[in-house]
A = this chain, B = another copy of it.
Amino acid sequence: MRDPLSQTFAALADPTRRAILARLVEGEANVSELAKPFLTEMSLPAVTKHLKVLESAGLIQKGREAQWRPCKLNGAPLKDAAGWMEQYRSHWEESFDRLEVYLRTVTEKDKAQKKGRRRGKKS
């Protein structure tokens, strides 16, 4: 049993699960509705497993309504994940490396060279 943050990131580290979460933004859906887009690539039990991963990471909550299991998104764990990332914002928001920046300007100059005269410096 891992720590919650690890569990959250691990749950997000799969495109199927991310797609499920994305679908869930539109609103609740039961298992077979969620599974529909994936049934060409994988079986229903496979989706069930993905849902179990999401659920035990706390990213979704599964209810029960007769034979259906309506799933809904729970964003709470993302808060901690985003919080952890926040600490690195300055490292991605620009110029996380002077050399990188230097190379970018050089590249732009190369491209613009044929008639270069002060092009925009960031696309």
A84, CB-defined interface residue at 8 Å: yes
Task: Render A1-18 as a binary contact track against B, CB cut-off 8 A, 1 for contact.
Answer: 011011111101111001
Contact status B12-A9, CB under 8 Å: yes
Q: Which of A14, A25, A79, A91 has the most CB of B within 10 A?
A: A91
The quantity of this chain's copies bound in the complex is 2
- A21 interface residue, CB < 8 Å from B? yes
Question: How big is the A interface, by class?
Answer: 35 or more
Q: Which of B9, B15, B89 contacts A3 (CB 8 A)?
A: B15
Measured CB to CB, the residues of A under 8 A from B are 2-3, 5-10, 12-15, 18, 21-22, 25, 72-79, 81-82, 84-85, 87-93, 96-97
